[in-house]
Amino acid sequence: MTAPSPDTARGAAFYETVMRRRDVRCEFTGEPMPDADLRRLLAAAHAAPSVGLTQPWDFVIVRSDATRRSFRDHVLAERETFAQTLTGDRAKLFADIKIEAILESSVAVVVTYDSRRGAPDVLGRHAIADAGLYSTCLAIENLWLAATAEGYGVGWVSFYREKFLGDLLGIPAPVRPIAWLCVGPVSHLEASPDLERHGWRSRRPLDEALHEERWQPPEERSPTH
């Protein structure tokens, strides 16, 4: 994928960061991460836009080996549950795909979402109940891009049950743990996503995702769209 050609060095650096961002699994070095650096990444996350300025996120920083091992055991069990649904070539491909770096990364950041923040009069959420959840995902992306810009890696672990992680970290209902993010120094960032390199799935060209004015089935789109 290539970025547009911006007019400024600042713009070029931004697009380069966006295109270089990766979901890291195998490249963490395990080296310590300075607290000041982690706080900078969290400040970037906390600066994300949010519906009604509710800032419905919280960040749980996890360093404990015992907690991380408990979570990893759960994740590997969920991996096996998913693996049992696969057959043939798909099963063979998945067997070689690493899905987490819970123990290899320097630290974990668990991002939560609290739908009660700012309620009941959340400006902008009356018609779209999930707008706060979308806001939390924007905070995650901010953290991810900031990490990439600073040379750190981030891996989003999604093979888990929310109740298990909530109980593990003492997160009170109805607060939801949205993401376990593995964060830390990396040896490098791969040129393409892991799943693409493993042949699990290929990225869609931008033109396949573009529609003019209304939703257009593939057969009705112009050659440029």
Percent of the chain beyond pLDDT 90? Answer: 92
Task: Name which of 73-82, 95-104, 187-196, 214-223 the model is least confident about.
Answer: 214-223
Q: Is the pLDDT of residue 7 over 80?
A: no
How many Cα neighbours within 13 Å face the side chain of 189?
Answer: 23
Q: Kindly report the pTM of this predicted structure.
A: 0.94
Q: Kindly state the tokens that stand for 210.
A: 């573009």
Q: Residue 59: which pLDDT band, with cuts at 50, 70 and 90?
A: very high
**Whether CATH 3.40.109.10 fits 23-200:** yes
Contact 42, 35 (CB under 8 A): no
CA-nearest of 122, 110, 104, 1 to 61 is 110
pLDDT given for residue 218 in this prediction: 83
Contact 42, 117 (CB under 8 A): no
Q: Is the pLDDT of residue 131 over 90?
A: yes
Give the start-end residues of each E strand in 104-202. Answer: 107-113, 152-157, 176-185
Percent of the chain beyond pLDDT 70? Answer: 96
Contact 107, 184 (CB under 8 A): yes
Q: Return d(Cα 49, Cα 213) in angstroms, integer.
A: 26
